[in-house]
Structure 1
Amino acid sequence: MLIKGDLVHCPSLGEVAIMRNYLLRVDSRGYVDHLAHASHADSLSILMHEDPIIIPQGSFLLPTFCDLHLHAPQFMYQGTGLHLPLMEWLNEYAFKAEESLDSKPQLAESVYRRLAARLIEHGTGAVLLFGTIKAETNLILARVMREAGIRAFVGKLSMDISSRPTYVEPSTNASLEAARSFCDRCLDVSASLPAHERLVEPVITPRFIPTCSNELLAGLGLLSAEKDLRIQSHMAEAHDQIQHVLSERKVDDMDLFAQSNLLTPRTVQAHCTFLAPPTLARLAKTGTAVAHCPLSNAYFSAQPFRLREALDVGVRVGLGTDIAGGYSIDIMNAMRQSVAVSRMREGARISGHYQAAGDHTEQEDKVLSVNWKEALYLATKGGAEALNLAMGSGSFVVGAPFDAQCIQVFDAATGEGTGGLDFFQDPRPDGLTLETLEKWWCIGDLRNRKEMWVQGRTISRH
């Protein structure tokens, strides 16, 4: 596949590069094998033998988004029940929904197919998923994501403790065996495929400390190391959750995860809102990444995530929607919310009202806000690096998988804005600019998304 037009990506945090009139070629395995300006000698040589797909003026290619935290079964009740604190919400909504899907495979198929369609509709090409405790239901999820063409990492929940007697695994050993079995079965499904087509993988998923015994956590740490598997969980998310762990285990959840060898470069921990800068520095040394979910944090955390501080000490951070603790499946909303929350934190710092427990005084002189360019990096390359995707993922470079979305901001023939974008001067003479990109970032929506590819293949929401 050969494409000619404007490309946009974030080579580093805070940097947005517009590559105007570039030629990009994708090989038969879905990797970029040529990238240069269309007037470059190599590009001209290629164009002599092949006609490219033309990205018209007013449109551009952007890497697909990465969602680092989404509860697939909770998509069923997205946008409801957000009036309760976390531990009550889990009992009243989450566990019931997950148990329902485990008992109704046809319902699970329906929910997951709709979820896949919505992810594609909103430009998400890679997603880290929490599932349910039943292996068969998670295999349905894995199959649906594979058939949709989404790069998906599926976690069967491990839970040997629960406040809901009907939604818990029978013992620690049974939970460990179920996790091992699911991982083996999930890997077997794609074992016969070429490596570049293995888009779906299993993830070790202790739900969070309150639902996992110390013995289960230790066993899952060993299983992850043995099979070199990714790990996901929740950490330091909400005040009631933190107090519950301290009361029951007499240590905080980060120490328990560390003792169980569950804080590794293969790990993504959601939230981490109660980690102060010194603890974030400790986390960075483990290589563990954080899924920042600003919307759900507003509902369930008593304080926001220290995003700027995490980035400053070298924590790898990506964005998550946290369906259904967050009600929007759109990573564009997660980008906007991450900036809004950081600006409120910065305002509190300037006015002298912000001093969270555990923060040192030297933090008072450091700007806490992030901007739209940094948020776009977190949604693309930052998320890809947090997920340990293939080299170059989340950007346009030779050797990277071609995971891309085509965004239209204005019509090439008329100059009219697309979707919610309005231009009161013809944008065509200037072409694609940083101001136009910022406008799309702020008020663009799914109407601007015209096509999407993962590993070089077109994928569709239909």
Structure 2
Amino acid sequence: MQAYRASILHLLDDPTRNAEAVAFHEDGLLLVEDGHVVACGNWTELLGLVGEASVEELPGRLITSGFIDTHIHFPQVDIIAAHGAQLLDWLEQHTFPAEAAFADPDHAAEAAEFFVEELLRNGTTTALVFGSVHKRSVEALFRAALARDMRLIAGKSLMDRNAPEGLTDTVETSRADMQSLIAEWHGKGRLGYAVTPRFAISCSDQQLAMAGEVLAQNPGVWMQTHLSENQREIDQTAALFPEASDYLDVYDRFGLVGPRSVFAHCVHLSGGAFERLAAAGSAVAFCPTSNLFLGSGLFPLEIACAHGAKVGIGTDVGAGTTFSILHTLGEAYKVGQLRGTALDPFHALYLATLGGARALDLGDRIGNLAPGKEADFLVLDLAATPLLARRLGEDRSLENRLFALTVLADDRVVERTYLAGVERHRR
């Protein structure tokens, strides 16, 4: 058994719906055994459970659940912060050339190692990831994650039209690649497969139909794609699928809207569309840094939540400008400010942890430090920078300190990252 004594903060439920959701222990104890949480609570109340285990004292540290990134692109690491226009032009200028390089298995393997280490350095313990169109890119990513016992869900991008030569596949090759990847990797360790149509523009009717068939034939796999990110993208989608009532209906017609479906962005959706997502059990990945960077728009978080849609947070690297979920939460607050709604810091932490877990239909396994959950957790250094030490030391309000952490923190705050109880990163 491992025992850690520090301040502990995690969420037991959505704090906007449950006043008892915030669990904070100023002097807390976390007990971990066999990769799972045994107990989490006040030091004085749990001390009797420690037994012969040695207790690691972590003064000035905050333990919280690992962060969950519900939307990120593995092959776009090397184009983060690439100057360009809006979405479709940015894809042509930067994304597609970068992704073409992942046909080289050595490049994919090197990039996968860097990518996974960067996630851990920023405190991300679970991620839903886009691979390139190449099967080997996803295999490289799965190998890197499996070696660290990381919970990671990924899939090869499906593109059989409107993409450069070398980045398109066919219905037949896509089906064969996905079936092979699912058979070899889905459920191995803590890995999962996601059927991954890049977006409607890149997929023919036949490709989307095949994606729906593979999803239906493999219960337990996920589906991820983009939805309603950019106005020009929305207009092109409408032109390509004139029979669909709206963008969401494009995916729904092919059986891609279900309880393990995650739609990135959804910037321009109406309340009715969010209601349909909620009814299907689907989720939304809110990606504030990329929405701002590409000028896509301001995600209506308050509307999505009001209609009961599940929402997680996504960095969306490389259009997103940081791997840090903490920094991303600070940008989410700014998006809310521009919409006239101030994001509550506890709700922000929920989106990054338990809310993200529920978005991935994994709320029973990860997302907080409740007994029985997988022990994915972080040790945060609240004095990682002089400014943080000064700011957090002057304010004793938990709400104010958490908010300041999301605005001022970055990867330096993440002192340690644990996966299933094993330390996988230490700054």
Whether the aligned pair in 1 keeps the contact of 2:354 and 2:363 (CA below 8 Å) is no
Letter of the structure 2 residue corresponding to residue 404 of structure 1: F
Q: Decide which structure has greater strand share.
A: 2
Partner residue in 2 for 1:208: 199
Question: Which residue number in structure 1 is paired with residue 304 of structure 2?
Answer: 310
Helix, strand or coil at the partner of 2:390 = coil
Alpha-carbon contact 2:346-2:399 (below 8 Å) kept: no
Residue type of the alignment partner of 1:8: L
The structure that has the greater radius of gyration is: 1
Give the C-alpha shift of residue 288 in structure 1. Answer: 0.7
Distance 1:61 1:203 in 2: 30
Partner of 2:130: 130
Q: Does 1:255 align with 2:255?
A: no
**Alpha-carbon distance, 1:435 to partner:** 3.2
Classify 1:384/1:424 alpha carbon distance in 2 versus 1 (closer, same or farther; 3 Å). Answer: closer
- SS of the residue 2:226 aligns to: strand
8 A contact 1:120–1:461 mirrored in 2 = no
Alignment of 1:121 with 2:109, yes or no, is: no
2:423 equivalent to 1:458: yes
Alignment map for 1:212-231 (pairs within 5 Å): 212-228=203-219, 229-231=221-223
- 1:409 aligned residue: 382
CA change 1:94–1:426 in 2 (3 A) is closer
- Which structure 2 residues correspond to residues 259-408 of structure 1 after superposition, within 5 A? 259-300=253-294, 302-346=296-340, 368-391=341-364, 393-408=366-381
The answer to whether the 8 A contact 2:327-2:409 is kept is no
Write the distance in 1 (CA, Å) between the matches of 2:390 and 2:255.
53
Q: Is the 8 A contact 2:108 2:136 kept in 1?
A: no
1:207 partner amino acid: R
Q: Using a 3 Å threshold, how does the CA distance of structure 1 residues 385 and 120 change in structure 2: closer, same or farther?
A: same
Contact conserved, 1:381 with 1:393, CA < 8 A, in 2?
Answer: yes
Question: How far apart in 1 are the matches of 2:41 and 2:166?
Answer: 58
User: CA shift at 1:308, angstroms?
Assistant: 0.6
Closer, same or farther in 2 for the Cα pair 1:456/1:422, shift >3 Å? closer
Give how far 1:441 is off: 2.4
How far, CA to CA, are the matches of 2:250 and 2:406 in structure 1? 39
TM-score by length of 2: 0.92
| Structure 1 residue 390, shift from structure 2 partner | 4.9
Partner of 2:74: 72
Distance 2:43 2:292 in 1: 46
2: CA distance between counterparts of 1:461 and 1:227? 37
**Residue aligning to 2:56:** 53
Contact 2:223 2:260 in 1 (8 A): yes
2:38 counterpart of 1:39 = no
Q: Which residue is 1:246 aligned to? A: 238
| Aligned partner of 1:435 among 394, 397, 400 | 400
Following superposition, the deviation at residue 232 of structure 1 comes to: 0.3
Q: CA deviation at 1:253?
A: 2.6
Write the distance in 2 (CA, Å) between the matches of 1:424 and 1:395: 26
Q: How many angstroms does 1:461 deviate by?
A: 6.7
- Within the candidate set 62, 65, 71, 1:63 is matched to 65
| 1:174 alignment counterpart | 173
Deviations 1:31-50 (A, max 9, x none): 1122343222xx34333433
Q: How does 1:147-162 map to 2 (within 5 A)?
A: 147-162=147-162
- Is 1:13 the equivalent of 2:14? yes
More off after superposition, 297-306 vs 379-388: 297-306
Deviation of 1:385 (Å): 1.0
**Structure-1 separation of matches of 2:279 and 2:44:** 44
8 Å CA contact 1:321, 1:330 repeated in 2: yes
1:361 alignment counterpart: none
User: AA paired with 1:114?
Assistant: F
Match of 1:421 among 388, 402, 406: 388
Verify the 8 A CA contact 2:30 2:41 in the aligned structure 1. Answer: yes
Counting matched residue pairs gives: 418
- CA RMSD of superposed structures (Å): 2.1
Give secondary structure in 2 for the equivalent of 1:401.
coil
Q: Does structure 2 retain, via aligned residues, the 8 Å contact 1:117–1:461?
A: no
The question of whether the paired residues in 2 share the 8 Å contact of 1:236 and 1:273 is answered with yes
Cα distance change, pair 424–126 in 1 and its aligned pair in 2 (3 A):
closer
The CA deviation at 1:133 is: 1.3
Moved more, 213-222 or 232-241: 213-222
Which segments of 5 or more consecutive residues in structure 1 lack a partner in the other structure? 191-197, 347-367, 411-416
The one-letter amino acid of 2:176's match is E
Counterpart of 1:47, as a letter, is: V
**Aligned counterparts of 2:251 and 2:392: Cα–Cα separation in 1:** 55
Conservation of the 8 A alpha-carbon contact between 2:119 and 2:323: yes
Given that 2:8 and 2:29 are in contact with CA atoms closer than 8 Å, whether structure 1 keeps it comes out as no
Corresponding residue SS for 1:291: strand
> Is the contact made by 1:296 and 1:325 (CA closer than 8 Å) also made in structure 2?
yes
In structure 2, the residue corresponding to 1:326 is in which secondary structure?
coil
Q: What secondary structure does 1:421 align onto?
A: helix
Counterpart of 2:28 (choices 7, 16, 22) is 22
Code of the residue aligned with 1:95 in structure 2: it is F
Matching of residue 90 in structure 1 with residue 91 in structure 2: yes
Flag the 1:269–1:419 CA change in 2: closer, same or farther, 3 A: farther
Unpaired segments of 5 or more residues in structure 2? 16-20
Partner residue of 1:448 out of 395, 398, 413: 413
User: In the TM superposition, what whole-angstrom CA distance separates every residue of 1:373-405 from its partner, at most 9, and x where no partner exists?
Assistant: 211110111111111225152112111111110
